[in-house]
């Protein structure tokens, strides 16, 4: 069985972070493993607290996995502090991690800082160069390149600029624009658009985590980035279309709809 590792924060409400990543890996038939960087207290209405683990504990978790188990792909999600970012980069180089997907998580939908502002430079200089593909949303791409993004053309410009910072490929996600949900991939040579209709729902908690872990699962199974993103986009669109009205705020996406449907378990 292929394996995938997520290095990210825990979302106790299960919609984003480690929990979304492991559900996505399972739904793709990939064996999921996790290195937890931080515990967050959050729900569908927002984040109320973040507690980082020590850099030593993050390092020990990575060591425990890589010294024992073959890792086919790695996703990096929320990493809040500079010293944890540096530890992850050192370890992934040491163990020659393959198929690294970096989701540069910065701010939650409710406006809470999931990346300490002083750690932005470390994320850019230490994690982006390790990435097979980096998956910023529009506000994250704006911070990384220091320009305003209002259109798909702006997303393309940002993708080209981020590519110069070291990742092999860049996927700028268009969830924050208003018409169709268009994601822009730049592979160093050409631009590809992945387009879906915009689904009218407020239940989009964890969409970014889910998309990046679906790409990771697909790379673990041997897909190239273009194929991996294409399937991941279909997966997230179905998961949003059948998202769950749990909680009082922005509910989570539905990871198992397609599987349950195939298994004849839905009405």
Ligand X SMILES: Nc1ncnc2c1ncn2[C@@H]1O[C@H](COP(=O)(O)OP(=O)(O)OP(=O)(O)O)[C@@H](O)[C@H]1O
Ligand Y SMILES: Cc1ncc(CO)c(N)n1
Chain positions contacting ligand X, by CB under 6 A: 16, 109, 137, 173-176, 181, 183, 196, 198-199, 204-209, 211, 233, 236-237, 240
CA–CA separation, 131 and 134 (whole Å): 6
CB under 5 to 8 A by kind: which of ligand X, ligand Y, none does 155 bind? none
Catalytic residue among 207, 210, 216, 253: 207
Give Cα separations from 200 to 61, 122, 251 (angstroms): 40, 36, 13
Which residue has its beta carbon closest to ligand X? 208
- For the record, the structure tokens of 152 come out as 């798909």
CB 214 within 8 A of CB 232: yes
Map residues 149-188 to x or -, x wherever contact with ligand Y holds by CB under 6 A. ----------------------------------------
16 touches ligand Y by CB under 6 A? yes
The set of residues, in sequence order, having a beta carbon less than 8 Å from that of 44 and lying 6+ positions away, is: 13, 15, 205, 246, 247, 248, 249, 250, 251, 252
Residue 208 CB, nearest approach to ligand X (Å): 2
CB 33 within 8 A of CB 4: yes
CB under 5 to 8 A by kind: which of ligand Y, ligand X, none does 30 bind? none
CB 139 within 8 A of CB 102: no
CB 61 within 8 A of CB 36: yes
The question of whether 195 is a catalytic residue gets the answer: no
Q: Compute the chain's Rg from CA coordinates.
A: 17
The question of whether 192 is a catalytic residue gets the answer: no
Residue 8 CB, nearest approach to ligand X (Å): 11
91 touches ligand Y by CB under 6 A? no
Binding residues for ligand Y (CB under 6 A) = 8-9, 11, 16-17, 40, 42, 77-78, 105, 108, 114, 206, 208-209
Please list the active-site residues: 173, 204, 206-209
């Amino acid at each position: 069985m292929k394996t995938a590792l997520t290095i990210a924060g825990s979302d106790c409400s299960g919609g984003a972070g480690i929990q979304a990543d492991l559900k996505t890996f399972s739904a793709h038939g990939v064996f999921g493993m996790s290195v937890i960087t931080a515990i967050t207290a959050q729900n569908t209405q927002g984040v109320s607290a973040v507690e980082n683990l020590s850099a030593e504990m993050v390092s020990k978790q990575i060591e425990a996995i890589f010294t024992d188990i073959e890792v086919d792909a790695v996703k990096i999600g929320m990493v809040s502090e500079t010293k944890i970012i540096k530890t992850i980069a050192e370890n992934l180089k040491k163990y020659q991690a393959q198929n690294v997907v970096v989701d540069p998580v910065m701010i939650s939908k409710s406006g809470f800082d999931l990346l300490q502002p002083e750690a932005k430079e470390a994320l850019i200089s230490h994690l982006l160069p390790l990435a097979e593909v980096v998956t910023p949303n529009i506000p994250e791409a704006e911070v990384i390149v220091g320009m305003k993004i209002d259109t798909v053309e702006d997303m393309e410009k940002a993708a080209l600029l981020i590519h110069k910072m070291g990742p092999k490929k860049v996927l700028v996600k268009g969830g924050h624009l208003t018409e169709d949900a268009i994601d822009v991939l730049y592979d160093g040579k050409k631009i590809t658009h992945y387009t879906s209709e915009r689904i009218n729902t407020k239940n989009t908690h964890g969409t970014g985590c889910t998309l990046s872990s679906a790409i990771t699962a697909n790379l673990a199974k041997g897909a190239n980035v273009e194929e991996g993103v294409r399937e991941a986009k279909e997966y997230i669109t179905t998961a949003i279309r059948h998202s769950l009205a749990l909680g009082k705020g922005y509910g989570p996406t539905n990871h198992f709809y397609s599987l349950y449907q195939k298994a004849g378990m839905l009405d």
